[in-house]
Amino acid sequence: MLLSLKQIEIMSEFKIVSNGFNHGYSMTFENGYTISVQFSEKNYSDGKTNAEVAAWDADGEWYQLVDGNDVIGWQSTDDVAKWMDKVSKLK
């Protein structure tokens, strides 16, 4: 089956980030939203047991996760999983 150009544009995608500041990954969902999960002491994270989460839409507009904040820190693995589920279902 061949994919149309539009389908290719919204196909999900994984990216791994590891540099002097960020260590983590991002996932772009079929709805066009991307979630970033970063875990290092230079992020809002202890680098081992929790992570920083942010999300944005296909146009690069930041999604307000909670109370006007587009980046939230110190999220547990369960919290991150819940954010992934929520962001993947945004319209």
In the chain, % of residues over pLDDT 90: 74
- Please state the φ and ψ torsions of residue 54, each to the nearest 5 degrees: -145, 160
Confidence of residue 11 (pLDDT cuts 50, 70, 90): low
Task: Name the residue among 54, 49, 20, 21 with its Cα closest to residue 37.
Answer: 54
Where in 1-91 does DSSP place strands (E)?
13-18, 23-28, 34-38, 51-56, 71-75
pLDDT, mean of residues 4-24: 71
The pLDDT score that the predictor gives to residue 7 is 43
Query: What residues have CB less than 8 Å from 21, skipping those under 6 apart?
Result: 40, 42, 43
- Kindly report, residue by residue over 32-58, the tens digit of the pLDDT: 999 999 999 899 999 999 999 999 999
Q: Is the pTM value of this prediction over 0.85?
A: no
